[in-house]
Structure 1
Amino acid sequence: MTAVEPAGPWHLALVGNPNCGKTALFNALTGSRQKVANYPGVTVERKSGLFQTPSGRSVHLLDLPGTYSLRARSPDEQVTRDAVLGRLAGESPPDMLLCVADATNLRIALRLVLELKRVGRPLMLALNMIDIARKRGFEFDLDRLSAELGVPVVTSTAVRRGGVEDLIARMDGLIAMPPAAHVAAANTWTPPTSAELRATQREADRILHAAVKVPGRPDTLTGRLDGVLLHPVFGILILLAVLFVMFQAVFSWAQPAMDLIKAGFDALGGLVQANMPEGLLQSFVQNGVIAGVGSVIVFLPQILILFLFILILEDLGYLARAAFLMDRIMGGAGLHGRAFIPLLSSFACAIPGIMAARVIDNRRDRLTTILVAPLMTCSARIPVYVLIISAFVPDREVFGFVGLQGLVMFGLYAAGISSALAVSFVAKRLLWRDHPEPFMLELPDYKMPRLKSVLIGVYTRALMFLQRAGTTIFSMMVLIWFLASFPRPPEGAAEPAIEYSLAAILGRAIEPLTAPIGFDWHINVALIPGMAAREVAVAALGTVYAIEGGKEASDQIGLVLAQSWSLATALALLAWYIFAPQCASTLAVIRRETGGWHWMAVSFAYMIVLAYAGAFLTYNIAVALGAG
């Protein structure tokens, strides 16, 4: 057979079961040369990257979502199946498939290998984490395994330096099947029946028995740890402690970096004021760009700490166990146990949380998770919460060691969780009444976090946040500055210029609606662009008060709010932000994930009603108690 040299980059698709080390191998091969986006028409994440083989061949690597079978049930499994078959719109058919298998858990992985082999594309099997498997007593006859499967078999240790050289060298030497042959084979593929899957599993078991010696004694460390971490009482207490430490760290660890960023933007604003002549251009740069965008960028350290915790816990193997622990609690509220990880992801951002709900097979359970995911306290709420807490909650300790501000933040997170459980409870009883499906979850082995993977994950999220600040937030700030600066005040005007602006006119126009919840026109101005993204509200307040009060108002926005608002208003705004659907991107993802406008409209409607009712009750109760 003659080798076929591709004209462009070689297209290689990375396939494997969940938790097999596929992403670690992807990071080891591509490093920082990777791109994250979505597949056309769906919200399943697409990760791709480039690397070169020793011969200089350029390889385009596609990291497909984890799957146990090509008989797809969930949206991410459908993407994997279609990509493997070359049927995915906008995606080049793969020249070869690289199936990654956890060497310590080959039984299910070999079934997937046999399914992939029947597709007809060139295929190679990479046994990942081979060093861990051998330490546990596994013995591999790689030649026998390759002969039984009929595909090349290589070993890799993705988390070690130099752990993928053999894989790349073997890949470089492979002779590709002529394109027409494997395209024809892929076009004739049909989904396996249940009987065929059972036969495939029997064949996988036979091959495993012939080529791999499995130790008789299981890993005792994992069992001992699970005895504590999965305990119905101690496990829950440990989980609560982990979450509490995470939220305390978001406040305390990030503060030095936040102070440094704030000082940098203050210095930049002072430099503009000192070197640019007074006028519209100076106002735009200082009050629109620097005061607006800077007031959001300052919260980057807190958001990254939150992501750091989530990525480390995921790498440790703890997140799956947290889902197992929460299944009983969440099941009582009408949520599937698998909803825990999507909801935990929503602490960072509701968008990946909603996307992660695709791992839930049952459509009704998936819809319930999608509807309540935006109620979790996402990172975009942090700037609003921190601004109000810093302005109205004293920076002191209670019980001698717990920061009061961190405790209030923990309470806001708890309020978001409680409201999500309550909405789920009501939805499952009003919208659909069915019996819950059994919760089955594969618990990965405990592993030390992979520093490179964690750092790449944090870097990727930092880049996404900065891109958001440089696009959506910047655009909104330009709009806010324009609305707050025009028309110019009349000659001899006694009030600040912003009192005559379009922003003030719009803000006052909706005051009859917002006055019962304690919001004045300044807050209304912030809420309007805040519909695009929650954190824009902080930047908008920074811009409005900077224009009204000058540089000192921009530098001391928290102090200005403490002097301008009552405690009742501050509490009402916190209540509003627990529920309000102020994120256009989240609503768009709900529409795409559910396949229409109906559930997006339901989500927006119930959240805006809850936000107004929550703010109304909070404001009026606070006023009645003398906080108005």
Structure 2
Amino acid sequence: MSCHGPGEGDVATLGRTTEVALLGSPNTGKSSLFNRLTGLSAATGNYPGVTVTRSRGTARTSSGSVTVTDLPGTYSLEPASPDEDVVLDHLTGRLESETAPDALLVVMDSTTLYRSLALCAEALALGRPTAVVLTMVDELRARGGDLDVTGLSRALGVPVVETVAHRGRGLEDVRELLGEAASWPVALIAPPHDDAAQLSGWIRSVLDSARYRSPRSSVATSRIDAVLLHPVWGALVFLAVMFCFFQVIFTVAAPIQDAIQAVFDHWGEVAANTLGSGFLADFVGTALIGGVGGVLVFLPQILLLYLMISVLESVGYMSRAAFLMDRIMARSGLDGRAFVAMLSSTACAVPGIMATRTMPSSRDRIATIMSAPLMTCSARLPVYLLLISLLVPAEARLGPFSMQGAALFGMYLLGGLASLVVARVFKATLLRHGALPFYLEMPPYRLPTPRGILRAVWTPVWMFLRKVGTIILVVTAVLWVLINFPARDAETAHMDEAQAQSYVMENSFAGAAGKAVEPVFEPLGFDWRVDIGLIASFAAREVFVSTMGQVAAAEDPEDPGAALQQLTYTHGPHQGEPMFTPPTIVALMIFFAFAMQCVSTLATMRRETNSWKWPAIAVAYMFVLAYGAAWIGHEITAAVTR
């Protein structure tokens, strides 16, 4: 293959930085390389007019700054999914308000070079200035493989450098290469890429020129996979991993949670001593410190959740879980690609729904979008932790295992099973057919790097903190106003503090709203105070926790925690009886498991399906499912506990 000389393929970059697109297949180390090159200067967002995420950052080189765009991973430039559509549109400059990149940096996994060269051939055929980065070279040589980088560069007709991205090795060579992006060559003779036989022959000739020796299969990987991918043993290991997963969330996080609670209690006392009594003191202590603190106290559990997911993904286990779950997903009419999206939904339904862009079948994609919100997300976690602590004593154990952890595992399992059933229903009714072959690459097992783990954990945790500081803070503040107004000074003048606050809440704007919907939820055991929390939770599920905190504070300002457990019905046939009984708690947990209580999820569904039809169907079916299942759970628990 011949190519332009350094002066003939120059990129015109006068007046702006050079734009380089990072192209590669999934699991090649492309994103690790991008993160190393751009560091904290990287920003994530959607393409203009397109709901596909891209990351863009600035890489500093000795020749100046270079803008690098990390494209979604793709196996081919012949689009089979929305993500791959956008990759091709970006490379050819067909996206709204976007120009084609000045140059392409193709990332290839040296341990699977045959497959990587197929994508490289398509990239070279675009006729853009191109260079190649080889990753995993340490693994290639550790497993007895080898290649001649100079020979590979000659055969491709473009510069080639090698790196170990996740370890930071070879990064300076890549930076130096990026600094020369304006003079990368363009292939004069494009390799064959649309004829399978000719492409295979070209790839073999390139491998021969590079004196490529394939790596040996890893004996350790084969032995581990024989267990983890076994239809029986693999499933048992998966369940054991998930069970231990939730045990850790309760047992390890508890001491940290107590420490955070103590800090917010102290700040509440400081606010009370500084501001005295009155509306301002109550607003700061109850709405701001109490409301936000009531949600932030669950930060340790959320951090642990993301930490464990990140570790399992980094070591290569999640791909095995997806392969294993493909057999189970098939019963719902989906495949392992849907499992990846649903697994992402355990953090948040929004990225889970966005992950469906990798699915080539539009019907499978919509079925997954409609069922993904049923997966237990981190927004439900604070609610579950609060309700489980009311239902199951902390000292309750089954041998060495915490029953609270087992209950949390059960809620996650319930969400997963419900999502599979719902997907099966949609695939059998509104979304028949549309299945395509499922291809999944098994990455080798790797030790995670602290830098990669910290980056993977920090992003979602920061999103949670930002949500607490914006949506939850605002909703909590508004709720405080609705709970405390209109003022009832004349009626409460003769009452003590607890009686006065309880009377004000019952006759407040929020109290009126709760009583208005009380007949709807009365069969589930919810009274008007719980209904206030339900209404507020449709903005963000976590607000239910802070709302119950405000309700409890109104009942007993001195000891809100005890007040919540001792709440009684204020009227009706059960007046004076405890409200948070096992049937009511079970009904609440089931309702939160199935109800659509996330505005962000609805907005994402609207964008991804380009229609309000599917979000409307989701709201309707999830409310019916939540209400019906909660009523059944309430009645069964009441019968068992009589």
Provide the TM-score with structure 2 as the length reference: 0.91
Give the match's secondary structure for 2:526: coil
Rounded Cα–Cα distance in structure 1 between residues aligned with 2:78 and 2:567: 56
Match of 2:59? Answer: 51
Rounded Cα–Cα distance in structure 2 between residues aligned with 1:357 and 1:120: 31
Correspondence 1:454-603 to 2 at 5 A: 454-493=453-492, 494=495, 495=500, 496=502, 497-553=504-560, 556=562, 559-560=565-566, 564-603=579-618
Contact 2:146 2:215 in 1 (8 A): no
Which among 15, 27, 33 is matched to residue 23 of structure 2? 15
Give the match's secondary structure for 2:167: coil
Q: Deviations over 1:12-54 (max 9, x none)?
A: 2211000001111112212233222333344432222223112
Give the match's secondary structure for 1:121: coil
Match of 2:85? Answer: 78
Rounded Cα–Cα distance in structure 2 between residues aligned with 1:458 and 1:386: 21
Displacement after TM superposition at 1:176 (Å): 3.7
Displacement after TM superposition at 1:465 (Å): 0.8
Please state if 1:319 is matched with 2:329: no
Match of 1:28? Answer: 36
Residues 41 and 533 of structure 1: CA distance in aligned 2, closer, same or farther (over 3 Å) = farther
Which among 596, 610, 614 is matched to residue 625 of structure 2? 610
AA aligned opposite 1:259 = D
Rounded Cα–Cα distance in structure 1 between residues aligned with 2:178 and 2:639: 73
Residues 378 and 147 of structure 1: CA distance in aligned 2, closer, same or farther (over 3 Å) = same
Rounded Cα–Cα distance in structure 1 between residues aligned with 2:74 and 2:307: 26
Q: What is the RMSD computed on CA atoms of the aligned residues?
A: 2.4
Match of 1:60? Answer: 67
Give the match's secondary structure for 2:277: coil
Correspondence 1:50-199 to 2 at 5 A: 50-55=58-63, 57-91=64-98, 93-176=100-183, 195-196=194-195, 199=198
Q: Deviations over 1:502-523 (max 9, x none)?
A: 0001110111111111111111
Correspondence 1:405-444 to 2 at 5 A: 405-434=404-433, 436-444=435-443
Residues 135 and 625 of structure 1: CA distance in aligned 2, closer, same or farther (over 3 Å) = closer
Give the match's secondary structure for 2:182: coil
Rounded Cα–Cα distance in structure 2 between residues aligned with 1:30 and 1:286: 42
Residues 22 and 194 of structure 1: CA distance in aligned 2, closer, same or farther (over 3 Å) = closer
Provide the TM-score with structure 1 as the length reference: 0.93
Contact 1:542 1:557 in 2 (8 A): no
Contact 1:14 1:64 in 2 (8 A): yes
Correspondence 1:332-343 to 2 at 5 A: 332-343=331-342
Contact 2:342 2:352 in 1 (8 A): yes
Residues 548 and 217 of structure 1: CA distance in aligned 2, closer, same or farther (over 3 Å) = closer
Residues 232 and 96 of structure 1: CA distance in aligned 2, closer, same or farther (over 3 Å) = same
Q: Deviations over 1:135-191 (max 9, x none)?
A: 22222222221122121111111122443111111222343479xx99xx9xxx9xx
Rounded Cα–Cα distance in structure 1 between residues aligned with 2:544 and 2:41: 34
Q: Which aligned runs of 4 or more in structure 1 are off by greater than 6 angstroms?
A: none
Rounded Cα–Cα distance in structure 2 between residues aligned with 1:375 and 1:533: 15
Residues 195 and 45 of structure 1: CA distance in aligned 2, closer, same or farther (over 3 Å) = closer
Match of 2:575? Answer: none
AA aligned opposite 1:571 = V
Contact 1:289 1:474 in 2 (8 A): yes
AA aligned opposite 1:455 = L
Contact 2:18 2:181 in 1 (8 A): no
Moved more, 26-35 or 482-491: 26-35
Q: Deviations over 1:183-237 (max 9, x none)?
A: xx9xxx9xx9994466444423331233242237433222222112111211111
Displacement after TM superposition at 1:90 (Å): 4.3
Rounded Cα–Cα distance in structure 1 between residues aligned with 2:18 and 2:138: 29
Residues 556 and 25 of structure 1: CA distance in aligned 2, closer, same or farther (over 3 Å) = farther
Rounded Cα–Cα distance in structure 2 between residues aligned with 1:535 and 1:15: 39
Extract unaligned runs of 5+ from structure 1: none
Please state if 1:621 is matched with 2:639: no
AA aligned opposite 1:301 = P
Displacement after TM superposition at 1:580 (Å): 0.5
Q: Deviations over 1:110-157 (max 9, x none)?
A: 121121122232211000111211222222222221122121111111
Contact 1:14 1:98 in 2 (8 A): yes
Contact 1:251 1:302 in 2 (8 A): yes
Moved more, 425-434 or 101-110: 425-434
AA aligned opposite 1:587 = L
Residues 141 and 193 of structure 1: CA distance in aligned 2, closer, same or farther (over 3 Å) = closer
Residues 84 and 421 of structure 1: CA distance in aligned 2, closer, same or farther (over 3 Å) = same
Rounded Cα–Cα distance in structure 1 between residues aligned with 2:215 and 2:169: 31
Give the match's secondary structure for 1:99: strand
Percent identical: 44
Displacement after TM superposition at 1:558 (Å): 5.1
Correspondence 1:209-228 to 2 at 5 A: 209-215=208-214, 217-228=216-227
Rounded Cα–Cα distance in structure 2 between residues aligned with 1:89 and 1:435: 29
Q: Deviations over 1:456-514 (max 9, x none)?
A: 11111111111111111111112111111111014033553212210001110111111
Rounded Cα–Cα distance in structure 1 between residues aligned with 2:46 and 2:259: 34
Contact 1:484 1:547 in 2 (8 A): no
Match of 1:381? Answer: 380
Contact 1:19 1:444 in 2 (8 A): yes
Rounded Cα–Cα distance in structure 1 between residues aligned with 2:196 and 2:512: 66
Contact 2:42 2:56 in 1 (8 A): yes
Contact 1:42 1:593 in 2 (8 A): no
Rounded Cα–Cα distance in structure 1 between residues aligned with 2:90 and 2:69: 9
Displacement after TM superposition at 1:387 (Å): 0.3
Rounded Cα–Cα distance in structure 2 between residues aligned with 1:459 and 1:244: 24
Q: Deviations over 1:273-293 (max 9, x none)?
A: 110132222222111111111
Displacement after TM superposition at 1:6 (Å): 4.3
Moved more, 145-154 or 30-39: 30-39
Displacement after TM superposition at 1:87 (Å): 2.6
AA aligned opposite 1:386 = L
Q: Deviations over 1:289-344 (max 9, x none)?
A: 11111111111111111111111111111111111111112212222122111111
AA aligned opposite 1:261 = I
Give the match's secondary structure for 1:377: coil
Match of 2:365? Answer: 366
Rounded Cα–Cα distance in structure 2 between residues aligned with 1:49 and 1:259: 39
Rounded Cα–Cα distance in structure 1 between residues aligned with 2:310 and 2:201: 36
Give the match's secondary structure for 2:28: coil
Q: Deviations over 1:345-401 (max 9, x none)?
A: 111111111111222211111111111111111111111110011112112343321
Give the match's secondary structure for 1:576: helix
Rounded Cα–Cα distance in structure 2 between residues aligned with 1:162 and 1:27: 13
Residues 3 and 339 of structure 1: CA distance in aligned 2, closer, same or farther (over 3 Å) = closer
Rounded Cα–Cα distance in structure 1 between residues aligned with 2:198 and 2:534: 59
Residues 511 and 194 of structure 1: CA distance in aligned 2, closer, same or farther (over 3 Å) = farther
AA aligned opposite 2:541 = R
Rounded Cα–Cα distance in structure 2 between residues aligned with 1:397 and 1:570: 17
Give the match's secondary structure for 1:139: coil
Match of 1:453? Answer: 452
AA aligned opposite 1:457 = A
Contact 1:53 1:172 in 2 (8 A): yes
